[in-house]
Structure 1
Amino acid sequence: MAKAIEVLKPHFASGDFGGGYHVPKLEPMFIKSMNFGEGEGIGLHLSDTNIYGTSNFKIDKLRVNMKDLKFEALITVPKLTTYAKYQMQFKFFGNQLKTSGDYHIVHENSKIVLPIKLNRVVKNGIEVMRFDPIPIKFMQGNVLKLTMSNLFGGNKAIEEIILSFLLNNQEFIGDNVRHEIEANLSKIFTKIANDILESTTFDEMFL
């Protein structure tokens, strides 16, 4: 299975597998809206988020249980680059400040766990393979770079406070981004897997 994934991997970015066959693309992964930190003194909203690099994953481990048709893959994504529009609210010495601009963050060595369950399904009298929804687990990597344009009008003092807070409290954004990425990747990978195996029999896949 690992070899099959490696063969298919170059097509994941565009979703174009040739011959007019298309599946949801991984590059970029698009998330319309995300909110962070409401009620914590600082609120951040990201919109029109584009995440690049997901398709460049590397398979670290692959566990196979042929008896139950269960598989678990541990994957590393060397670099994830995110671009978005941001809106932020921040309490500073009793004043409620608001700002907006462009958001850019780069992570290295993020991890993805793919627990996969296959089922044999009879379709048009033929036994084919179908994937259960894939409950992806995503672990965000270290931050290499974080920039936010027009952060409170370029006020350097406030800018340093905000960026320092975000870099030192990565879970502030991390947990929210993780849930969004998990939900998106789960839909995309399940859709890709089932589209590819639409008419594939057990024998064709494993024998």
Structure 2
Amino acid sequence: MSPVQSSVILASAIVLSALVSVVNSALPSQFKLCSRNDPKVEQCIISAVDHIRKNLAEGDFGEGFDVPKLEPLYVEQMKMQRGQDFQAVFNKVNVYGASTFKIDRLQSKPSNLSFDLVTSIPKLNVTGKYSLKMKLLFLELQGKGDIKGMLTNTKLSIKIRGYTETNKTAANGTVTNGTASNGTDSKQYVRFNRLGIRLKIEGGRFQLDNLFNGDPVLGQVGNQVINDNSRLFLDELIPGLERNLSRLFTEIVNNLLRTATIDEMFPEKV
């Protein structure tokens, strides 16, 4: 996986942190609740995320909670393809520095499950395996081997829009504690539409070993072209990553929060 892919996956971790930090039901004691009626709910959410930063870094929320750690953040595989001109597979990736993310701006309407946030990460270091075929300027890049990279001053703009979904309840049934007399559930469960993710990266340096089947001269030229034109290299990768990982992360969030209700995520009072 390239450093760009890692930063998008980091966005997933940040969003999930912001969302689950305010969920009340069957979650670790470290999580801090925020009322949806709090006039300073944005500050509460940011504080809640900061409160569990160490737990996120270590992936440690106590017995019974299986949460991937952020230091390092590990990704098994990512495949990308755009016609015959761009094909890439990245494997066994470790990302260092993910836990240093900062929420720079947050606008939220918890009652409407609407959130817009901008986050920044000063530096990310990445190691992993790659297989790549792409055209950059005049050069047809091809190779398979180890990849190292460093990204500086990455900005992530994330848009989250949700809705509630109620299981069907019999028309003549009575409801007690969210359950109808016929046994069906009438609670308002939280669901999310596809998350919108946009990336801006100030700078990056890359080292791809074994470009052009290990040819030392062509490999050096290839890496120099990549680093001299890192903006073009990043621009080639970002659009597809934003789309694919946005879809993937939406599925993950909806699965992880499938039993969460609006009142559990953002109670009227805490």
Partner of 1:22: 66
Q: Normalized against structure 2, the TM-score is what?
A: 0.57
Q: Aligned residue pairs: how many?
A: 198
Larger Rg: 2
> Structure 2 residue aligned with 1:169, among 226, 229, 248?
229
> Structure 1 residue aligned with 2:201, among 95, 120, 140?
140
Alignment of 1:139-158 (within 5 A): 139-143=200-204, 145-151=205-211, 153=214, 155-156=216-217, 158=218
Q: Secondary structure at the match of 1:32?
A: strand
Q: Which whole-Å deviations, capped at 9, do the CAs of 1:75-131 have from their partners, x for residues lacking one?
A: 11222223233446799xxxx896543111110111111111232333522224333
| RMSD (Å) for aligned C-alpha atoms | 3.7
Q: Structure 2: where are the runs of 5+ without partners? A: 1-44, 168-184
Q: Are positions 1:129 and 2:175 aligned together? A: no
> Structure 2 residue aligned with 1:85, among 107, 129, 154?
129
User: Aligned equivalents of 1:76 and 1:90: distance in 2?
Assistant: 29
> Structure 1 residue aligned with 2:91, among 48, 51, 61?
48
Q: Secondary structure at the match of 1:140?
A: strand
User: Aligned equivalents of 1:105 and 1:36: distance in 2?
Assistant: 22
Structure 1 moving runs of 4+ over 6 Å: none
User: Aligned equivalents of 1:87 and 1:160: distance in 2?
Assistant: 17
Q: Structure 1: where are the runs of 5+ without partners? A: none
Residues 86, 101 of structure 1: 8 Å contact kept: yes
Letter in 1 for 2:91: D
Q: Indicate the larger mover: 52-61 or 183-192.
A: 183-192
Which structure is higher in strand share? 1
Residues 82, 106 of structure 1: 8 Å contact kept: yes
User: Aligned equivalents of 2:132 and 2:114: distance in 1?
Assistant: 43
Bigger relative CO (Cα 8 Å, ≥ 6 apart) = 2
